[in-house]
Amino acid sequence: MKNRAWSVILVVLALLLLASASFYSVRMTQSAIILQFGKAVRVVEAPGLYLKWPLVQDVVFVDKRLTSYSTQPEPFLTAEKKPVLIDFFAEWRVVNPLVFYTRLHNTSTAQSRIGDIVRSALRGEVGKMSLESVIQGRRQEIINPVLAEANLRLQPLGVRLVDVRILQVGLPPEVLRAVYKRMEAERTQEANDYRSRGAADAAKIRANAEKEKTEIMANAYRQEEEMKGQGDAEAASIYGAAYGKNPAFFSFYRSLEAYRHGLGDKDVLVLNPNSPFFKYFLHSLGPADQ
């Protein structure tokens, strides 16, 4: 009785193992490749529960979702043979699971091949551009041909690139130092140009100011002389008119001015007492002079 019970249990377990080995499920994110004696016979794309021959057929699942590939910064040479550091990432998916499994077998192998192909295409495009164009960020001009060329080479592998992006563009330390030195020299030359132009403009402004100053001084001197001449003419006219009204008083007034200016505290004059200069000291005014 015990042997019979154990036999039933073993049969049930065998049936369960056979059933589990006969059924498989496919998710929405997967494609299933049916292998018969190690050879791919068909591909199942639709999700669901399926039946296979146990011990004869095996199932390999291929992920249909987007897969990312990224790198660390790597050196690339520009058209001038100058190194530039670029790191990029790519997104890809399997479009033909049977070809993918036949040619690449798994995701790790696919990642390696995709990296090599994208890197080669990127190297070719960067080699056509100048260092300035790469640094200035004209990345779309690089990405479009890289994406087209990489997809052309990946098509026989059952893989399609969805997107490629350049994350960062940099320079090696030695090139960066050389660039900084060149930028410093350019800025120094530019500053010297500004200084020289400023000095020339300052000299021109000073020359114009000096010219204007000379003209203003000349005009002021001319006006001064004209005003002095007019004043002297008016003074002579006034003196003449005054002399005509009373010549004796005018002569006396001018003599007083001469005494005031000529006889100072420290002045010594040696004159003949009968000199006309002392006439008003020697003679009083007569009735005709009053």
Please say whether the beta carbons of 53 and 27 come within 8 A: no
Whether 61 and 31 have beta carbons less than 8 Å apart is answered as: yes
- The pLDDT score that the predictor gives to residue 285 is 46
pLDDT digits 0-9 by tens, 216-238: 888 888 888 888 888 878 877 77
Q: Is the pLDDT of residue 252 over 50?
A: yes
Q: What is the pLDDT of residue 280?
A: 63
What is the band of 60 on the pLDDT scale with cuts at 50, 70, 90? confident
Percent of the chain with pLDDT over 90: 0
Q: Rounded distance, CA 252 to CA 286, Å?
A: 12
Does residue 268 register a pLDDT over 70?
Answer: no
Q: Please state, in angstroms and rounded to a whole number, the distance separating the CA atoms of residues 235 and 117.
A: 109
Write the CA distances from 2 to 7, 13, 238, 275, integer angstroms: 9, 16, 166, 182
Q: Higher-confidence residue: 59 or 244?
A: 59
Whole-number pLDDT of residue 288:
45
Q: What is the mean pLDDT of residues 25-51?
A: 78
pLDDT at position 75 over 70: yes
- Beta-bridge mates of residue 170: 85
pLDDT at 52 over 60: yes
143 within 8 A of 165, measured Cβ to Cβ: yes
User: Which residue in this structure is represented by tokens 């140009």?
Assistant: 193
Token pair of 158, please?
A: 């059952």
- What integer pLDDT is reported at residue 243 of this predicted model? 67
pLDDT in tens, 177-206: 777 788 888 888 888 888 888 888 888 888
Asked if residues 89 and 67 have their Cβ atoms less than 8 Å apart, the reply is no
List the beta bridge partners of residue 94. 159
**Could you give the CA distance from residue 289 to residue 287 in angstroms, rounded to a whole number?**
5
pLDDT of residue 275: 63
Q: Which domains does the chain have, with CATH numbers?
A: 15-62 (no CATH), 67-171 (3.30.479.30), 248-290 (no CATH)
Predicted local confidence at residue 290, as pLDDT: 42
* Stretch 56-80: mean pLDDT: 81
- State the amino acid at position 158 in one-letter form: G
Q: In terms of DSSP H, where are the helices of the chain? A: 2-22, 97-103, 107-126, 131-135, 140-154, 173-245, 247-262, 279-282
What pLDDT shows up at residue 170?
76
Asked whether the whole model's pTM tops 0.75, one would answer no
| Structure-token pair, residue 116 | 């090599």
- pLDDT digits over 104-126, tens only? 888 888 888 888 888 888 888 88
What does the mean pLDDT of the chain come to? 76
Average pLDDT over residues 8-19: 56
Which tens digit of pLDDT belongs to each residue from 141-176? 778 888 888 888 888 888 888 888 887 777 777 766
Over 50: is that where the pLDDT of 289 sits? no
What are the residues facing 33 on neighbouring strands?
43, 60
Ranges 1-15, 85-99, 186-200: which has the least confidence: 1-15
